């Protein structure tokens, strides 16, 4: 009608006013205090504790615009090496009745400001939940995992079975050879089966929520010192519901005392 070619006419976007801009500082404050909250918990925190009503979709959009992400396990901490051997899972249906029957290990990531990601490995006795050894490294090579294994073996002797995931650190030649030299049966989680190693997965949740997130370590030195102090508390003083409110040291040592007395 106006004799205007359609190819010459384009829609121009209009700037949209964000009705939730006023809440951004509150979102930042909550994220700083609770960096492990995703958009669902952030939505509940705003609504129930601060009286700010946003839908989950609006909360997710706000966090995306502000480039805020919940702290969560970093992807690919357990990467399978195509040339490394994989062993079967030996713990299915197995009753664990005494210390040093089964040990387990895993590694997790910790983010430090100005440094980036560092990695924590720990070895635990599944029966008592006792942390036998641990190491922190700024790289994911197998060396620090082997050091933790050697330290645990030197202090506590050898377990009957050692369970890991299929990560390249635990399937490496050096790590496997240490286990073989001590005549330890090797067990590995099934691919994608986090429940196979649930005891140490629970340890990561505990140490992060009860220590790392609260302390907000800023450098590697303070992190190592703080984690060491926490693991001493975890072994010696922290009561475990799954252990009938005994500490890991109590459960580990009491069984050994009974065994020594019987012998």
- The answer to whether residues 41 and 107 belong to one domain is no
The pLDDT mean for the chain works out to 83
Q: Within this chain, do residues 237 and 176 fall inside the same structural domain, yes or no?
A: yes
* Residue 137 resides in a domain: yes
In a domain, 227, yes or no: yes
Residue 200 belongs to domain spanning: 102-262
Same domain, 116 and 177: yes
Assigned domain for 2 exists = no
**Stretch 256-263: mean pLDDT:** 48
Q: Are residues 173 and 49 in the same domain?
A: no
Mean pLDDT of 46-70: 82
Same domain, 207 and 257: yes
Top pLDDT among 103 and 41 is at 103
Domain boundary among 43, 65, 87: 65
**Residue-wise pLDDT tens digits, 211-224:** 998 898 999 999 99
pLDDT (average), residues 21-38: 78
Residue 102 has pLDDT above 50, yes or no: yes
Instruction: Give a yes or no: residue 93 inside a domain.
Output: no
The total of structural domains in the chain comes to 2
Q: Do both 187 and 142 map to the same domain?
A: yes
Give the separation between CA 72 and CA 69, rounded to whole angstroms: 9
Is the residue at 44 inside a domain? yes
Shared domain for 114 and 241, answered yes or no, is yes
pLDDT digits (tens, 9 = 90+) for 145-185: 999 999 999 999 999 999 998 887 888 889 999 999 999 99
What would the two tokens of residue 78 be?
A: 């357990």
Q: Are residues 158 and 253 in the same domain?
A: yes
- The verdict on residue 7 lying in a domain is no
Residue written as token pair 């980036």: 116
Mean pLDDT of 58-67: 82
CB 54 within 8 A of CB 23: yes
Kindly report the CATH number assigned to the domain that includes residue 132.
Answer: 3.30.420.10
Instruction: Please indicate, yes or no, whether residues 28 and 128 belong to a single structural domain of this protein.
Output: no
Do 31 and 116 lie in a common domain?
Answer: no
Does residue 38 lie in a domain region?
yes
**Do residue 144 and residue 28 come from a single domain?**
no
- What is the distance between the alpha carbons of residues 187 and 91, in angstroms, rounded to a whole number? 8
Is residue 9 a part of any domain in this protein? no
Pair 253, 172 in one domain = yes
Q: Please say if the pLDDT value at position 261 is more than 70.
A: no
């Amino acid at each position: 009608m106006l004799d205007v070619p359609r190819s010459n006419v384009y829609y121009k976007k209009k700037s949209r006013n964000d009705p939730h801009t006023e809440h951004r500082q509150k979102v930042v404050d909550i994220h700083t205090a609770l960096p492990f909250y995703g958009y669902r918990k952030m939505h509940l925190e705003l609504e129930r504790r601060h009286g700010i009503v946003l839908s989950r979709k609006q909360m997710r959009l706000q966090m995306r615009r502000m480039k805020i992400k919940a702290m969560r396990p970093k992807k690919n901490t357990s990467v399978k090496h195509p040339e490394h051997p994989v062993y079967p899972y030996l713990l299915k249906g197995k009753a664990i009745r005494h210390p040093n029957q089964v040990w387990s290990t895993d590694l997790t990531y910790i983010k430090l400001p100005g440094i980036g990601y560092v990695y924590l490995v720990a070895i635990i006795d599944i029966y008592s939940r006792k942390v036998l050894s641990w190491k922190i490294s700024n790289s994911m090579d197998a060396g620090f995992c082997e050091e933790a294994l050697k330290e645990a073996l030197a202090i506590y002797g050898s377990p009957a079975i050692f369970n890991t995931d299929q990560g390249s650190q635990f399937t490496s030649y050096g790590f496997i050879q240490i286990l073989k030299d001590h005549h330890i049966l090797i067990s590995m989680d099934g691919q994608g089966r986090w429940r196979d190693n649930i005891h140490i997965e629970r340890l990561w949740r505990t140490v992060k929520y009860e220590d790392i997130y609260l302390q907000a370590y800023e450098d590697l030195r303070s992190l190592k010192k703080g984690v060491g102090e926490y693991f001493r508390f975890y072994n010696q003083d922290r009561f475990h519901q799954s252990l009938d409110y005994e500490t890991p040291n109590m459960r580990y040592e009491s069984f050994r005392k009974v065994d020594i007395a019987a012998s």
